[in-house]
Amino acid sequence: MAQTNSVGQGTNGVADESPNMIVYRKMEDFIARMQDDKNGIPIRTVKSFLSKIPSVFSGSDIVQWMIKNLNIEDQVEALHLGTLMAAHGYFFPISDHVLTLKDDGTFYRFQESLARLQRAFARKWEFIFMQAEAQAKVDKKRDKIERKILDSQERAFWDVHRPVVSIIFLLIIIFLLLITITITSYIIQRHLLGYTEQYVEYDPFLTPSDPSNPWISDDNTIWELEASKEPGQQRVKRWAFGIDEVLKDPIGREQFLKFLESEFSSENLRFWLAVQELKKRPIREVPSRVQEIWQEFLASGAPSAINVDSKSYGKTTQNVKDPGRYAFEDAQEHIYKLMKSDSYSRFIRSSAYQELLQAKKKQHTHYHHHQSTTTTISPPPVHHHQSITTTSPPPPPPPVHHHQFPTTTSTSPPPPS
């Protein structure tokens, strides 16, 4: 490859020993020779469809010029050198921002000198600002091809001159990532601890249940209480954990429905329950049930019309044409979110729920108080003529002889035999 006389010379004529500067000055010397009016790469204006592309040259022009003027015999070496120059931003393709050299008809354009532009910016910023405003107005009138050329030029500039990632910058990024991971882990741990603390009294393996745990005893009382229509204090308290706890409890659903009826919005819960029931229907009954739900809740003039967004309504309308178990999935999800964010929170704050919770608490307290005062020793059988003292059990009966019968009316010591 041909060598130049300016290689390694600084701006003041003193040799620069920096390897990067030597490479840069070699490339700048090659670019200056490429831009020579007589012996450089031919720069021309080419015609495109209904437009012209000014000041361009092809990739094959660069390769041929390097082989001819830089004493390069291998075409691959010429492509490699041209790609290095493109990667440093000395020229760029106008069709995309991939900074590589192709030995074909792809059009390229030389990049402006960055140092010269920076000097101009330092001295004439106000003038450049005014020119930029004028250029923006002109830019709106340019055709699509010209705007594409300018866009590719700007992309090429920033692809080359992106900020260098320093060690300090990397350490800051790592530090921020560690902080983010730590905070995220802390939040997850808090959620897990909160969930455990909330449900620990409902786990019979962690907290002794009252009545006894049916898994380790033969007493099924706790299961009977959970299935009964008279929910206990723990069961009512659990409804406040979330709307899912209310919806999966039959008594909770009943109480929630009563509350919604008092607010004239029970159609939301009835629609949600109808869709849940639809998913469990035999497949032969699904089409008719889908039409029933549609007519009751979503059709025009429906007796129990629900309020859903246009997107969910449109998708549900399409699904009903081909009815299936999940035809109302989008509408059901919308109604669920509406109840969760609005109706459920009012239900938990309502006087009906608070009064029910307080009543169950009183029953629970009374039950435990009664259990604590019950003794484990059973009193003797009570007859109509017998009195029982609550302070201590009665004394044993006197010994019985052949001339004597036992008596239960007297508590005095037996006579001497």
Q: What pLDDT, in 10s, does the model give residues 236-267?
A: 888 999 999 999 988 889 999 999 999 888 99
Q: Is the pLDDT of residue 324 over 80?
A: yes
Instruction: Give me the amino acid identity at 388.
Output: I
Predicted pLDDT of residue 144: 74
Predicted pLDDT of residue 378: 46
Q: How confident is the model at residue 407 (pLDDT cuts 50, 70, 90)?
A: very low
Q: What pLDDT, in 10s, does the model give residues 326-366?
A: 999 999 999 999 999 989 999 999 988 888 888 766 665 55
CA distances from 244 to 145, 215, 324 (A): 58, 25, 24
More confident residue, 225 or 5: 225
- Best-predicted range by mean pLDDT among 93-102, 362-371, 402-411? 93-102
Q: What distance in Å separates the CA atoms of residue 173 and residue 13, rounded to the nearest whole number? A: 42
Predicted pLDDT of residue 332: 94
Per-residue pLDDT averaged across 186-196, rounded? 90
Predicted pLDDT of residue 13: 47
Q: Is the pLDDT of residue 379 over 80?
A: no
Are the C-beta atoms of 243 and 340 separated by less than 8 Å? yes
Predicted pLDDT of residue 130: 78
Q: pTM for this one?
A: 0.46
Q: What distance in Å separates the CA atoms of residue 266 and residue 258, rounded to the nearest whole number? A: 8
Q: Is the pLDDT of residue 316 over 90?
A: yes
The DSSP output letter for 107 is E
Tokens read off for 302: 């429906």
Q: Is the pLDDT of residue 35 over 60?
A: yes
Scanning the structure block, which residue is given the tokens 């979110």?
337
Predicted pLDDT of residue 313: 92
Scanning the structure block, which residue is given the tokens 């002889």?
401
Instruction: Give me the amino acid identity at 30.
Output: F
CA distances from 65 to 55, 56, 80 (A): 17, 15, 14
Predicted pLDDT of residue 394: 54
Predicted pLDDT of residue 224: 75
Mean pLDDT of the chain: 78
Q: Is the pLDDT of residue 370 over 60?
A: no
- Best-predicted range by mean pLDDT among 25-34, 98-107, 342-351, 373-382? 342-351
Scanning the structure block, which residue is given the tokens 């990739």?
59
Q: What distance in Å separates the CA atoms of residue 354 and residue 358, rounded to the nearest whole number? A: 6
Q: How confident is the model at residue 406 (pLDDT cuts 50, 70, 90)?
A: very low
Q: What distance in Å separates the CA atoms of residue 238 and residue 123, rounded to the nearest whole number? A: 72
Predicted pLDDT of residue 278: 93
- Best-predicted range by mean pLDDT among 149-163, 216-230, 329-343? 329-343
Predicted pLDDT of residue 390: 43
For a pLDDT cut of 90, what percent of the chain falls above it? 28
Q: In sequence order, what are the residues at sequence separation of 6 or more whose Cβ sits closer than 8 angstroms to the Cβ of residue 315?
A: 330
Q: What distance in Å separates the CA atoms of residue 403 and residue 417, rounded to the nearest whole number? A: 10
Tokens read off for 327: 């035809």
Helix (H, G, I), strand (E, B), or coil: what is residue 54?
strand
Q: In sequence order, what are the residues at sequence separation of 6 or more whose Cβ sits closer than 8 angstroms to the Cβ of residue 338?
A: 268, 307
Predicted pLDDT of residue 210: 67
Q: What pLDDT, in 10s, does the model give residues 102-144?
A: 888 888 888 766 556 556 666 666 676 677 778 777 777 767 7
Q: In sequence order, what are the residues at sequence separation of 6 or more whose Cβ sits closer than 8 angstroms to the Cβ of residue 70?
A: 1, 2, 30, 78, 81
For a pLDDT cut of 70, what percent of the chain falls above it? 73
